[in-house]
Amino acid sequence: MDIAWGTDNNLYDDQFYNREEEIGFLKSILNTSQFGSTPTILLTGIRGVGKTALLKKLQREFIDDYLVIYADFSQSYAYQTDKLSPNAIMEFLYDRIIKSAHEQGLKTLGKKLEKYFKTNDFHIKEILNFQGISIPIPKSEENYHKLADFVMDLPQMIYDEYSEEIKGVFIFIDEFQTIKDLDNELNGFLWYFRSKVQEQKNVAYMFSGSMSLTDSLIQDIAGKKGAFGGRMLTYELKPFSKEITKNYLDEKAANLKFSDDAFERFYTCTKGIPTYINLFAKLLPQNHLINEEELKEEFKKDLPFLAIHFINIWSKLTFKEQKIIISLLDKPLKRVEIARELNVTSGSLSNSLNSLQNKALIQLNDSKYEIIDYIFRAWLKNEYASKGVYPFRSI
């Protein structure tokens, strides 16, 4: 089987299926960068739809012509240790820029930087030795703005120095929603970031992350009144269509054989979301004709594997958050209705509702809260159906 694990997003080219239209579109837009007008793109899409895999694919496609920097904010030490700050973001971005530039062979960067440090009277914290090349690490604690300006200007400086070798610089920022951790510094950070992003003639930015499509962060960034003032292009990555799913399985998982009904059911169960398609396809029995009944049984059996990501998140929720989720299993509810179910005041739900939205577990749609992911919901329902109790506590 030529199918990637549902958790692997750095796919080999023969594992990466289709997305031709999407790639063509994004490529043509990003390619305008070589003429000095760079787009800013927000790539949205539900969890597991393939945003990260697409960013990495685009990175590979562009790497010969552009300097491409992929920065996954959730991988920063500061975020992992719950200490995200504007300063930490800049240091992380700096690190990603320098490393990418070196990986892509732009190796005389050290000198240019040193010159910049001197002329800007920048204190140097230490010199990092990266594959034999000295890279200064700016000392930033006492002057965030100096560091931020420096890091944000750096990609354009790199372009100016290497305009013979590269057509421009692309910065792909994944898991951008992590910046919500900045709390009351968030707004200022976004506006500053925007002003810098728009100053740069040859640097294009693409943001993405695991957020609900109704997430307020999307409005804060890309909305008319958001930091980018409607100048950001929002592009939604959609799940695979039924036909693409069919062709995908025929091509990459020829050992799976479905009756027509069973395939229909497979599509209903996975909703065309690549992460579920891949996980489920890997778990199904091969080389024998699967009928609809068997598929249903397999689906129930495999739910804990399909929902693994959510089970992790679920086990860390508070009891109150878990109860809110349970109240939404059957249908979307208004806030007052949830309060009634839980026998608490509506006001006391604010923190929990926010936290669940930030984790992209629920979203507000038409003034009702709903569970976003179908597999997550199916897993909880199935737990109850088979055990008679919801898994509030893990062992």
List residues near ligand ATP by CB under 6 A: 4, 6-9, 15-19, 45, 47-53, 210, 274-275, 278
Token pair of 331, please?
């249908």
Neighbours of 219 (CB within 10 A): 12
Task: Fill in the DSSP letter of residue 13.
Answer: T
Select 19 or 51, whichever has its Cβ closest to Mg ion: 51
Q: Which of residues 38-57 bind Mg ion (CB under 5 A)?
A: 51-52
Neighbours of 383 (CB within 10 A): 17
Task: Fill in the DSSP letter of residue 232.
Answer: S
Q: Quote the least distance from Cβ 47 to ligand ATP, whole Å.
A: 4
Residue 4, contacted partner among Mg ion, ligand ATP, none, CB below 5-8 A by kind: ligand ATP
Q: Quote the least distance from Cβ 122 to ligand ATP, whole Å.
A: 35
Q: Quote the least distance from Cβ 218 to ligand ATP, whole Å.
A: 13
Q: Are 292 and 259 in contact (CB under 8 A)?
A: yes
Q: Are 158 and 101 in contact (CB under 8 A)?
A: yes
Q: Which amino acid is at 18?
A: N
Task: Fill in the DSSP letter of residue 225.
Answer: T
Contacts of 349 (CB under 8 A, 6+ apart): 324, 335, 338, 339, 342
Q: How far apart are CA 206 and CA 175, in angstroms?
A: 11
* Chain residue at closest Cβ approach to ligand ATP: 50
Residue 194, contacted partner among Mg ion, ligand ATP, none, CB below 5-8 A by kind: none
71, with CB counted inside 10 A (0-12, 13-18, 19+), is buried
Q: Which of residues 258-277 bind Mg ion (CB under 5 A)?
A: none
Select 18 or 247, whichever has its Cβ closest to Mg ion: 18
Q: Quote the least distance from Cβ 359 to ligand ATP, whole Å.
A: 11
Q: Dihedral of the CA atoms 178, 218, 34, 155 (nearest 10)?
A: -30
Select 192 or 374, whichever has its Cβ closest to ligand ATP: 374
Q: Quote the least distance from Cβ 22 to ligand ATP, whole Å.
A: 9
Q: Quote the least distance from Cβ 228 to Mg ion, whole Å.
A: 21
Residue 278, contacted partner among Mg ion, ligand ATP, none, CB below 5-8 A by kind: ligand ATP
Which run of H or E residues covers position 321?
helix 319-327
Select 315 or 350, whichever has its Cβ closest to ligand ATP: 315
Select 49 or 353, whichever has its Cβ closest to ligand ATP: 49
Q: Is 178 in the site for Mg ion (CB under 5 A)?
A: no
Q: Which residues bind Mg ion (CB under 5 A)?
A: 51-52
